Amino acid sequence: MTEPLKLGLAGIGTVGTGLVQLVAARADALVAKTGRPIEIVAVSVRNKRKKRSVDLSNKRIVSDPVALANDPEINVFVELIGGEEGPAKEAVEAALQAGKHVVTANKALLAHHGPSLAALAEKHGVALNFEGAVAGGIPVVKAIREGLQGNDITRVFGILNGTCNYILTKMEREGRDFADVLTEAQDQGYAEADPTFDVGGFDTAHKLALLTSLAFGTRTRFDAVYVEGIETLTPSDIEAATDLGYSIKLLGDVLRTERGIYQPVHPTMVPQDTAIANVDGVSNCVAIDGDFVG
């Protein structure tokens, strides 16, 4: 049998737990699709004693994610720690320098350090993949990187944060206050205890910065993204938009103009008869304008 692809996983939060479950549940299907087994052989966690919903007893536990990144046994380093600096950045850099492929869902890290990490990956002849960092399960990174290379892209926009979309959907359908729906979203696990990163628009801005780089082949500065969240929206705002035939969505929108790249994040009135206005709940949606695909 072909040698398995051995993964080292740093971070066993919600996404990391889901990855462990997926690899275990889909083991045979992954072999059939990829031609070789995929195994998570080692993990890095901050708290070894914490009870988890997945069994890690058959995996090596490594305390230091940088040590895991340099582990000679692994072929691919998967970073799901989060954060733009600190252990996540140090571990990803170490893995790339060690000649290991890296997969990350860390949009903050890539929004701030994407170009330098991409250069490091190219220097050492390895892949830096981050499909899971933008728009959940929508394969938009691959679409822009590969499927739309023949197009002159002029605009990319969409709903990039499920928490905000859930809150706005509930406010529109049920006429409830922002604070009330936010508490419900936290109780259901859609929003963090400190929701500022999501509802303030910063999560969307990080993802938009990545899409800007991909779509226009340019280095972007995160601090150049205009960011406005949904915290100040009221039921009266939602009702007024509805009366005019619009829904309010938090959109990330990057547009190429004659003066340069314009990339705002803000609540936007979207006509109710459009597809994007009907994307409800925690779902994401991305639209791309190109000269050949329209």
Residues involved in catalysis: 207
- Give 183-207 as a DSSP string: HHHHHTTSS-SS-HHHHTSHHHHHH
Q: Cα–Cα distances in Å, from 289 out to 133, 162, 166, 294?
A: 21, 22, 26, 6
Give CA–CA dist 221/240, Å, rounded.
35
Cβ neighbour number for residue 267 with a 10 Å cutoff:
21
DSSP letter, residue 4: P
- Give 77-117 as a DSSP string: EEE----SSTHHHHHHHHHHHTT-EEEE--HHHHHHHHHHH
**Beta strands, E only, the chain:** 5-10, 38-44, 60-62, 76-79, 101-104, 128-129, 153-159, 226-227, 246-257, 260-262, 264-271, 285-290
Q: Which residues is 159 bridged to in the sheet?
A: 285
> What is the token pair recorded at 121?
């990956």
Residue 181 backbone phi and psi in degrees, to 5 = -70, -35
How many residues would you count in the chain?
294
